[in-house]
Amino acid sequence: MDHLQAFKPRPISAFPVARQNGWLLKRYAILAEGRESDDGVMTAALSEACARLPAPGALADQTGNHGVGVQIVHFAQVAVVSPVFYWQWGSVLARLPQMRAQWQTPSVFEDGVPNVLGCVWEMEIVAFEVAAWQRTMLSGVGRPAERLDAYLGTFVA
């Protein structure tokens, strides 16, 4: 069964925080075997994510999003997929529907599979980001702006 192969970690690269359209997005690329990161695809994925995200909120907003999120661009075997997650209500991680580009047109993102949250490689990053948010933003130590700086400076190694 090809789909039940032994798990192998995939290389993860962190990119600078994107500051676009009022959003602060931590960004990562994951590379499946034989795939390479592509700046044009990364730019297209960011542009598409920013077009789909709701209006950015403020860190002090208790009833909406905080304008802070995470984008993963997974150069996977079957396609380029890009899950996007964002923080709201202090401790809730929301998501956009999965974005997906076929390898024939890797910079053209359309809707992916509607019920997919993400694969095991993407969920590794999500687990890290949840723990980082908890350690920094929900620590109760320091001013919120200082905590945000600490969160935005923490990436999967």
For 128-147, the pLDDT digits (tens) are: 999 999 999 999 999 999 99
Confidence band (pLDDT; 50, 70, 90) for 4? confident
Place of tokens 């709201």: 88
Average pLDDT over residues 37-57: 97
Confidence of residue 50 (pLDDT cuts 50, 70, 90): very high
Say whether pLDDT at 155 is over 90: yes
Residues 14-46: b if buried by 16+ CB within 10 A, e if exposed: ebebbeeeebbbbbbbbbbeebeebeebbebbb
- Name the residue ranges covered by the structural domains of the chain: 11-152
For residues 53-77, give the mean pLDDT: 96
Q: Is the pTM of this model over 0.85?
A: yes
Whether 1 shows a pLDDT value over 70: the answer reads no
